[in-house]
Structures are given as structure tokens and as C-alpha cells.
Amino acid sequence: MIENQKIRPAQVIGPLGEPLTLDTLPPPSTSRWVVRRKAEVVAAVNGGLLSVDEVCERYRLTLEEFAGWQRAVDRSGMPGLRVTRIQHYKSLYERQQKY
């Protein structure tokens, strides 16, 4: 039975180098998703603080929406999460893939 229990870190390092815990993550009632909050949630999943399923349930996100945030961070870092720049970074990445 112990094998089924997941060991989670008490904290992970956030996108700005600060420690993140479950208490310091954005509240579940968050409706305005700024770049920093999105990056914190992605860092929490990448560090093992929360699972993808837990994040989607906690913040009422679709799997596709969260996966888009992860892709944006992987490709372009925090600037890739800016809503006004999504198309720019998407086309830039597609051009890079061609060569």
C-alpha cells in the first residue's frame, strides 16, 4: 500500500526563484490569470507539488489549457504565457521547426 502513496515535496522553486508551497499558490478562486500565476502553477506541477489532474480540478482548467501553458513555458519561458504574445511565439516556434 505504501507504494501507491506519492511522496510530495513540501515546497518547490517558483518561476522567479521563490519557494512555492500549496499555501502560496494562487487561490482556487482565481479568475484573472496573469503570467506569474500561470508560471507558478506550471512550476508546481513540474516540481511535483501538484499533479496535472489536481491542478485542472483545483483551478477548473481543461487539460488542453494547462498543456498550452506548459508548452508556452517550455518554448519561450514566462514571456510565452502573455496572452498578447501567444500568436507571435506560436509563429516563431513554427518557423524554427521548419529549419
In a domain, 16, yes or no: no
Number of domains the chain contains: 1
With respect to residue 76, please indicate whether it lies within any of the assigned structural domains: yes
More confident residue, 55 or 82: 55
Contact predicate 14/39, CB 8 Å: yes
Give a yes or no: residue 29 inside a domain: no
pTM given for the model: 0.78
- For residue 48, the enclosing domain spans 34-98
CA-nearest of 33, 38, 39 to 17 is 39
Q: Does a structural domain hold residue 56? A: yes
Mean pLDDT for 57-71 is 95
Does residue 51 fall inside a structural domain? yes
Q: How far apart, in Å, are the Cα atoms of 82 and each of 39, 48, 93?
A: 10, 24, 15
Residue 3 has pLDDT above 60, yes or no: no
Which residues, 6 or more positions from 65, have their beta carbon under 8 angstroms from its beta carbon? none
What pLDDT score does 1 carry?
45
